[in-house]
């Protein structure tokens, strides 16, 4: 693969992902509104792009890694955006976590101009972005997926095609629904244990090996029992993801009653100033309502 | 340990548990309303008890394994029950899954007559009762726990003391809350994936190794994707456990909003004739409301 | 009607109801565990009963007015109770607010001995018990209803037959579900108004005449805006009623998701020491979670 | 008042409202994308506007009556919109039902250019728009409110100032939350009555005069009992309003757990093809989940 790779969006996640591609020998042309992020990449060996349009004109594969649907739509569909500037056949690989319907809408507009798009959001957070071990969930055509696969193999530990365009983000949202609810389940269960007089740490140890066990339990129960809510994955970001999930569910006819309930809890936490806390702070919602700290004795 | 062990309650769980004790060389005196169960144990080498009272008079350690709080209270506190008949110092080991407050109430009544009690509900179901690999969660004094420990080691793969009397059942309820909610979370997430057009089986494979992964996901997602709801653990029993959890939460001041919501789903399933289905049939609630089967393509 | 009327249960509600019957010229034989309540009625002109059994033997129509299902079942089905002591043909008029299934169970047992029963719970509280203007909801046969109707006309402003045995209580529970949810709806709406910066009192005035208007809004919004939660109808009693509603829904196959949610709120309030506050204190749940008082400016 | 009134948005509501102003003798200049609506108003005596810009240039008070926030923002803030074209001092009276935060955002932008704005959404629907008896809830300054008051008096039966800019819409959302929840409460209560065997129509009659009584109950219970869900106010519109309420609550820190739950029900109904049914069809959600029609016998 000797063509130039475009990379738009050099934030907390995008920057180390782009660097890993450069390190692996790829020629990158990069762009971000934040000039120091661009300079940082240039130092690492990437070419600086002056605008989205310039990147789009120069590269036949463009990776985008941006905060949410409106940002990606601005870059792809907006004035001076990829749709306007890129050549026929260009493949857009959007690795942002956005609403699946936004992915579908953009892919439709791009395909009308013979451009291609796949959505490929990641999970794993900054540490896994740095060491190139992200989990990548991809929606799109198999051919396009295969074309981007070598890049995914550098940025991630796994990349799976899970359905047509939008499915990468749908998969991510499914993941986020389950994670949020599993944390809430853990919190609700531990609160009962605490209030009814059991030793919560021993309860955790007694159940973690059985059917109630989960990656969430192993990762988050110790944080809850210590009262340590350092992120990790922030409440604010989980609110964004569940908002996308609720919108997607509404459009697709999928009722999400428990997600809707947990979103209300997350929003209470945000209002309480916990937006930058780890999502394990869902336990703090239960602590607030019950007036009881779920801490080990 | 050469004293005689009483065993009251020889149902689906109690019968194999009692047999394992007999096989291990313990002298058992057993009782159940079902005469054929008693006869079966006699054939295996146990002594037949004619009544609760007779068992209570003869044994200084009595295991009870009964359906729910009222049955245990009848056997312990009722006419001709253990409280009336047992000698000072007798240790009651209630292995039924009941309300923690019922355990506390019985222990209090027993201790007034210098009898002792620990609660020690199990998880794992019939297969693990048969092969002696149950997980046993225990509430009570450490000394009493240690006295019963050799028996637990025969019936179970693990036995943990998790707090004072009632805590074994509290721990079991915590477990059951988390399991029910994790199944609902899985169902809600997979429904979104299905409705939004992703390949649900590939989604399952993409997320099971990450933070959304859980024992519930590994065990139940394949059942849901196949539409196979053969128990396993039955909806009817999970309703019983969540009812005990909700009562316990109400008494202890622990709000359980998501548990209350899932209990309503379980009750809809029961009304639909799914009481004997596996609890993974929570997915059928989502299928009913959305009019869409969550099956692999 | 010159036969003697039995009246069992002389609490806050029963005492004024019984007195109204005495004042109207009826011969009453009364019983309560509380001797001073019995003495009070005797002074008013009623005959003192020494026991349930004595009242049951002496009277062919017996009114019961007791706290909840277990109390009524003890008086009707228990040792020395009405079933044991009353003569064939006796009509039991249970005016307690209990679970409909308990009414059905008692009526079945009574009818096996050729005794009759109707359930006739009331709404309106102590003030309307005193001035004889209760609303009475009745379940049972039309003939039995008509026989008790003259008594209802003295104790209440209205009495309606709403279905077979148990339906009086079902009707009461329907009423209590709607009242609790309408209070929660009002609280949730007013909280939004407050948090978004509107003048809550003016909002109340703007909407009370439209489709959002209700007896609950007229009665409870002023209390919420003043922060006055003097009962009225107590949180503790509303918890009792919703517990009966949830049990009835579970048995009948009626999902009650919002009721289940509000019951969790009420239980938080009880744990916070608000059990004796008016049920309009549901607003305090919202205030607690949001950290904002919903008071007029 | 002899200055010219601008009126933008001549849909189901806007058209009769504008006509009432014309009939009352006001000079109107009107605009809508739908030319036949403009022609219809012209026939009634209004002046045709060629564009938003033309109306804005010509009128010092401009009423807008549009579907939702994005439409109003396009007309007010967009290219060729009111902000660009109107003269200093112009008063924008937005009578659309939109998000309060959108009102606040527009008012801020307008005030920077010395234009004024109040938000004044209505309730009552098409019939009350036609006969000039709408309820109008207004947010803004008292002076601006007083300036628009003569117009409100023609279009509505009541107009109340309920707080600063955005408060009209906040009030409308409070109203819509309470209405939706009161309908759900009614449905949940009646389902219990039906399933437990009472006569639902008699139950309705027994409770409507008490604390459970409401305008919703009087208006919607007969529709539910007949199975008549002809609008009235449509599910689709109620979804729009609750979405605005949930967004407003999230931004303002007001948890709306029951609203979030009912929104999921409404979305199920929409997916089932009931978007154009009256919002009393919330009862159909309960009927679907329980498999039981809540009809009078």
Over the stretch C135-178, which tens digit does the pLDDT of each residue have? Answer: 999 999 999 999 999 999 999 999 999 999 999 999 999 999 99
**pLDDT, chain C, mean:** 97
**C234 given a catalytic annotation:** no
Mean pLDDT, to the nearest integer, of C118-137? 96
Q: Does A215 touch chain B (CB under 8 A)?
A: yes
Sign of CA dihedral A217, A220, A224, A226: positive
CA–CA min distance D191, chain C (Å): 6
Written in H, E and C, the secondary structure of D165-215 is: CCHHHHHHHHHHHHHHHHHHHHHHHHHHHHHCCCCHHHHHHHHCCCCCCEH
Peptide bond into D232 cis (omega under 30): yes
What is the CATH code of the structural domain delimited by B5-165? 3.40.50.720
Q: Are A163 and B202 in contact (CB under 8 A)?
A: yes
Q: Which of D192, B103, A245 is nearest to C162 (CA)?
A: D192
pLDDT band at residue A2 under the 50/70/90 scheme: low
pLDDT band at residue C2 under the 50/70/90 scheme: low
Burial (CB < 10 A; 0-12, 13-18, 19+), residue D181, is buried
pLDDT band at residue B3 under the 50/70/90 scheme: confident
Which of C123, C186, C194, C203 is the best residue to mutate to test the D interface, defined by the most D CB atoms within 10 Å of its own CB? Answer: C203
Give C-chain residues touching A290 at CB under 8 angstroms.
Answer: 268, 271
Backbone angles phi, psi at A294, to 5 degrees: -90, 75
Peptide bond into A153 cis (omega under 30): no
Q: Which residues 149-178 of B have a C-beta within 8 angstroms of A?
A: 158, 160-164, 166-167, 170-171, 173-178
**Given an 8 Å threshold on Cβ–Cβ distance, is B261 in contact with C260?**
yes
Q: Please give the structure tokens belonging to residue B90.
A: 């007798």
Q: Does C268 touch chain B (CB under 8 A)?
A: yes
Closest-CA residue of D relative to A269 is: D253
What is the C-alpha separation between A289 and C94, in angstroms, rounded?
38
Quote the pLDDT of residue A284: 98
What is the C-alpha separation between C93 and C71, in angstroms, rounded?
15
**Given an 8 Å threshold on Cβ–Cβ distance, is C188 in contact with D123?**
no
User: Which of C255, C265, C267 faces B268 most closely, judged by CB atoms?
Assistant: C255
Which of D177, D245, D267 is the best residue to mutate to test the A interface, defined by the most A CB atoms within 10 Å of its own CB? Answer: D267
For residue C258, how many other CB atoms are within 10 A of its CB? Answer: 26
User: Which of D158, D162, D197 faces C166 most closely, judged by CB atoms?
Assistant: D197
Over the stretch C72-106, which tens digit does the pLDDT of each residue have? Answer: 999 999 999 999 999 999 999 999 999 999 999 99
**Given an 8 Å threshold on Cβ–Cβ distance, is C139 in contact with D206?**
no
pLDDT band at residue B1 under the 50/70/90 scheme: very low
Quote the pLDDT of residue D117: 98
Query: How does strand A134-139 pair with strand A122-123?
Result: antiparallel
- Maximum pairwise Cα distance, chain D: 66
Distance set, CA A9 to CA A25, A97, A117, B47, C141 (Å): 20, 12, 17, 76, 75
Q: Please give the structure tokens belonging to residue A23.
A: 């390190």
Q: Which of B244, B224, B156, D186 is nearest to C178 (CA)?
A: D186
What are the structural domain ranges in chain C? 5-165, 170-290
pLDDT at residue A1 above 50?
no
Q: Does D263 touch chain A (CB under 8 A)?
A: yes
What is the C-alpha separation between C228 and C248, in angstroms, rounded?
32
What is the C-alpha separation between D116 and D87, in angstroms, rounded?
10
Q: Which of D47, D40, D125, D111 is nearest to D76 (CA)?
A: D111
Q: Which of B261, D242, A237, A250 is nearest to C192 (CA)?
A: D242
Give B-chain residues touching C265 at CB under 8 angstroms.
Answer: 255
What is the C-alpha separation between A146 and C232, in angstroms, rounded?
70
Contacts of A68 (CB under 8 A, 6+ apart): A96, A97, A98, A240, A244
Half-sphere exposure of A275 (CA within 13 A, CB side): 11
Query: How does strand A5-8 pair with strand B47-48?
Result: unpaired
Question: DSSP characters for A181-248?
Answer: HHHHHHHHHHHHHHHTT--HHHHHHHHTTSTT-BHHHHHHHHHHHHT----SSBHHHHHHHHHHHHHH
For residue C2, how many other CB atoms are within 10 A of its CB? Answer: 6
Secondary element (H or E) of residue C215:
helix C215-226
Which of D255, D265, D285 is the best residue to mutate to test the A interface, defined by the most A CB atoms within 10 Å of its own CB? Answer: D255
What is the C-alpha separation between B273 and B287, in angstroms, rounded?
15
**Given an 8 Å threshold on Cβ–Cβ distance, is B289 in contact with A189?**
no
Over the stretch B152-209, which tens digit does the pLDDT of each residue have? Answer: 999 999 999 999 999 999 999 999 999 999 999 999 999 999 999 999 999 999 999 9
What is the C-alpha separation between A287 and B284, in angstroms, rounded?
32
Angle at B179 between CA B174 and CA A271, to 5 degrees: 75
CA–CA min distance A49, chain B (Å): 34
Q: Which of C10, C14, C11, C44 is nearest to C27 (CA)?
A: C44
Give D-chain residues touching A256 at CB under 8 angstroms.
Answer: 264
Give C-chain residues touching D207 at CB under 8 angstroms.
Answer: 123, 135, 137, 171, 174-175, 178
Q: Chains meeting D at 3+ CB pairs closer than 8 A?
A: A, B, C
Q: Which of D104, D128, D172, D220 is catalytic?
A: D172
What is the C-alpha separation between D96 and A131, in angstroms, rounded?
52
* Average pLDDT by stretches of 10, chain D with 297 residues: 86 98 98 97 97 97 97 97 97 98 98 98 94 97 98 98 98 98 98 98 97 98 98 96 98 98 98 98 98 93
Over the stretch B221-255, which tens digit does the pLDDT of each residue have? Answer: 999 999 999 999 999 999 999 999 999 999 999 99
CA B51, chain centre distance (Å): 24
* Tokens 């590269």, located at residue: A59
**Given an 8 Å threshold on Cβ–Cβ distance, is C185 in contact with D185?**
yes
**Given an 8 Å threshold on Cβ–Cβ distance, is D192 in contact with C211?**
no
Question: DSSP characters for B223-254?
Answer: HHHHT----SSBHHHHHHHHHHHHHHHHHHT-
Q: Which residues 243-262 of B have a C-beta within 8 angstroms of C?
A: 249-250, 253, 255-257, 260-261
* Tokens 């998000």, located at residue: D99
Fold of B170-290: 1.10.1040
Q: Which CATH architecture has domain A5-163?
A: 3-Layer(aba) Sandwich (3.40)
Q: Please give the structure tokens belonging to residue A207.
A: 């159940």
Over the stretch C188-238, which tens digit does the pLDDT of each residue have? Answer: 999 999 999 999 999 999 999 999 999 999 999 999 999 999 999 999 999
pLDDT band at residue A150 under the 50/70/90 scheme: very high
Q: Please give the structure tokens belonging to residue B3.
A: 């004293």
Task: Kindly state the percentage of chain A with pLDDT values over 90.
Answer: 98
Q: Please give the structure tokens belonging to residue B10.
A: 């020889």
Backbone angles phi, psi at B7, to 5 degrees: -140, 110
Sign of CA dihedral D259, D263, D264, D265: positive
Over the stretch B65-101, which tens digit does the pLDDT of each residue have? Answer: 999 999 999 999 999 999 999 999 999 999 999 999 9
SS3 call for A54: helix
Question: DSSP characters for D51-103?
Answer: SHHHHHHH-SEEEE--SSHHHHHHHHHSTTSHHHHPPTT-EEEE-S---HHHH
Quote the pLDDT of residue D1: 44
What is the C-alpha separation between C65 and C20, in angstroms, rounded?
14
pLDDT band at residue B292 under the 50/70/90 scheme: very high
| C107 φψ region: left (φ > 0), alpha (ψ -120 to 50), beta (else) | alpha
**pLDDT, chain B, mean:** 97
What is the C-alpha separation between B240 and D286, in angstroms, rounded?
24
**Given an 8 Å threshold on Cβ–Cβ distance, is B210 in contact with A175?**
yes
SS3 call for D36: helix
Over the stretch A68-116, which tens digit does the pLDDT of each residue have? Answer: 999 999 999 999 999 999 999 999 999 999 999 999 999 999 999 999 9
β-sheet bridge partners, residue D123: D135
Secondary element (H or E) of residue C264:
helix C257-271
Over the stretch A205-256, which tens digit does the pLDDT of each residue have? Answer: 999 999 999 999 999 999 999 999 999 999 999 999 999 999 999 999 999 9
Q: Does C193 touch chain D (CB under 8 A)?
A: yes
Give B-chain residues touching A233 at CB under 8 angstroms.
Answer: 211
**Given an 8 Å threshold on Cβ–Cβ distance, is D175 in contact with C139?**
no
b/e B148-181 (16+ beta carbons within 10 angstroms → b): beebbeebbebbbbbbbbbbbbbbbbbbbbbbbb
Quote the pLDDT of residue A181: 98
Secondary element (H or E) of residue A39:
helix A35-44
Burial (CB < 10 A; 0-12, 13-18, 19+), residue B277, is buried
What is the C-alpha separation between D282 and D223, in angstroms, rounded?
11
Backbone angles phi, psi at B148, to 5 degrees: -85, -15
Q: Does A196 touch chain B (CB under 8 A)?
A: yes
CA–CA min distance C214, chain A (Å): 27
CATH number among 3.30.70.20, 3.40.50.720, 3.20.80.10, 3.30.1340.10, domain D5-164: 3.40.50.720
For residue C11, how many other CB atoms are within 10 A of its CB? Answer: 17
Q: Does D25 touch chain A (CB under 8 A)?
A: no
Q: Does D90 touch chain A (CB under 8 A)?
A: no
Distance set, CA A240 to CA A243, B207, B225, C31, C289 (Å): 5, 19, 28, 63, 21
């Amino acid at each position: 693969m000797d063509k130039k790779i475009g990379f738009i969006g050099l934030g907390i996640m995008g920057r180390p992902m782009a660097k890993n591609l450069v390190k692996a020998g790829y020629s990158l042309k990069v762009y971000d509104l934040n000039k120091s992020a661009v300079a940082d990449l240039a130092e690492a060996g990437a070419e600086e792009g002056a605008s989205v349009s310039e990147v789009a004109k120069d590269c036949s594969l463009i990776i985008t890694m941006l905060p949410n649907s409106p940002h990606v739509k601005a870059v792809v569909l907006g004035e001076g955006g990829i749709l306007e500037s890129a050549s026929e056949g260009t493949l857009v690989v959007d690795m942002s976590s956005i609403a699946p319907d936004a992915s579908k809408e953009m892919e439709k507009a791009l395909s009308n101009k013979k451009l291609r798009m796949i959505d490929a959001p990641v999970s794993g957070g900054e540490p896994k972005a740095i060491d190139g071990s992200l989990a990548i969930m991809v929606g799109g055509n198999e051919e396009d997926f295969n074309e981007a696969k070598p890049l995914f193999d550098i940025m991630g530990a796994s990349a799976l095609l899970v359905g047509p365009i939008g499915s990468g983000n749908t998969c991510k949202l499914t993941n986020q629904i389950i994670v949020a609810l599993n944390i809430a389940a853990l919190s609700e269960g531990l609160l009962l244990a605490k209030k009814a007089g059991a030793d919560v740490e021993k309860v955790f140890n007694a159940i973690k090996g059985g059917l109630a066990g989960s990656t969430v339990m192993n990762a988050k129960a110790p944080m809850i029992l210590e009262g340590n809510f350092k992120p990790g994955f922030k409440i604010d970001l989980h609110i964004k993801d569940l908002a996308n999930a609720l919108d997607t569910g509404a459009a697709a006819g999928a009722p999400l009653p428990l997600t809707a309930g947990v979103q209300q809890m997350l929003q209470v936490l945000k209002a309480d100033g916990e937006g930058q806390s780890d999502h394990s702070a869902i336990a703090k919602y239960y602590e607030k309502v019950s007036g009881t700290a779920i801490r080990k004795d």
